[in-house]
Copies of this chain bind each other. A is one copy, B any other.
């Protein structure tokens, strides 16, 4: 953090001083020697609790507090009680932020209607100017060896060519889901024909929950009465009673799927397999993985009482619900084009990316 070189005049400030006075030439000389032998002026870092791993630091600090005189510990207790008032104020703040989000979602509906109409060939947009006014970033111009890289060649071969006379943007939502790590994990190959029929994904806000709706066009898998599938996420706006100090805004605490009315024999979450056991019927219906399991999450009214596996499934499900609400629905086209790439699931290898979805948020309190 030595930034002296940028502001050499700062050296001159301390007015009439006990420190030896410097003439300008000497200052420039000492600045020069600073850049040459900078290391001699960098102090040894002072050991501090911040260097400890978080869990050990926590225990160490708790121990340090317990060693304080009883009077001082009493003041710390009073400060923590005082902090609970701050938590109550934060709860109210985040409640209003959520209401604001809800109100602004209403304002965005015209934008999402326009998107739906273009995607599904209902509206043909006028000829657009070239988008070259959005400059390419370094990675955009990355030279991809599409012919010789096997992984890229395979990915490309999996995407059917689009005929010139097609309506709208075919496979739009499926492509978005395939481009985003958390969502792509959920999609199986056998889900793709139905996901190609997905026309729109929208949100509906309630005070203590929001619903993600998936609208399909008529197809051979879903009964016509079941073309809109929904997933509802319930929010807890107040701080956790046991851990009030960890409060950072409303949390998803529960979700609810919907019944899917499949056409006979086209339930994508089931498969028929040949039995290997003697004395069993020759064919058996077995469950299989499918995106559409997303609409029948495990039930847990109280997450803290659920078993580990359920907790894991639901915590990943809640992440998906959060991603759909905050990123996918509002910005779908950017995940289609690659203007945004969700790097949630990636290692730190590419921490230079400026477009991480989990980038700095500017709204905490």
Partner of A272, one of B19, B45, B101, B129: B19
Which chain B residues border A104 with CB–CB below 8 Å? 89-90, 92-93, 365
Partner of A6, one of B58, B105, B299, B353: B299
How many residues of A are in contact with the other chain, CB < 8 A?
196
Q: How far, in Å, is A64 (CB) from chain B's closest CB?
A: 7
Provide the A90-116 mask, 1 if CB < 8 A to any CB of B, else 0: 101110111011001101101100110
Q: Is residue A151 within 8 Å, beta carbon to beta carbon, of the partner chain?
A: yes
State whether A168 touches B327 (Cβ < 8 A). Answer: no
State whether B97 touches A333 (Cβ < 8 A). Answer: no
State whether A264 touches B59 (Cβ < 8 A). Answer: no
Q: How far, in Å, is A199 (CB) from chain B's closest CB?
A: 14
State whether A251 touches B338 (Cβ < 8 A). Answer: no
Which chain B residues border A251 with CB–CB below 8 Å? 360, 362
Q: Is residue A219 within 8 Å, beta carbon to beta carbon, of the partner chain?
A: no
Closest-by-CB residue of B relative to A235 is: B362
Partner of A43, one of B70, B83, B285, B288: B288
Provide the A126-170 mask, 1 if CB < 8 A to any CB of B, else 0: 111111001101011110101000011011101100111110111
State whether A19 touches B270 (Cβ < 8 A). Answer: yes
State whether B10 touches A179 (Cβ < 8 A). Answer: no
Q: Is residue A22 within 8 Å, beta carbon to beta carbon, of the partner chain?
A: yes
Q: How far, in Å, is A8 (CB) from chain B's closest CB?
A: 9
State whether A285 touches B20 (Cβ < 8 A). Answer: yes
State whether A89 touches B74 (Cβ < 8 A). Answer: no
**A22 CA / B284 CA spacing, docked (Å):** 8
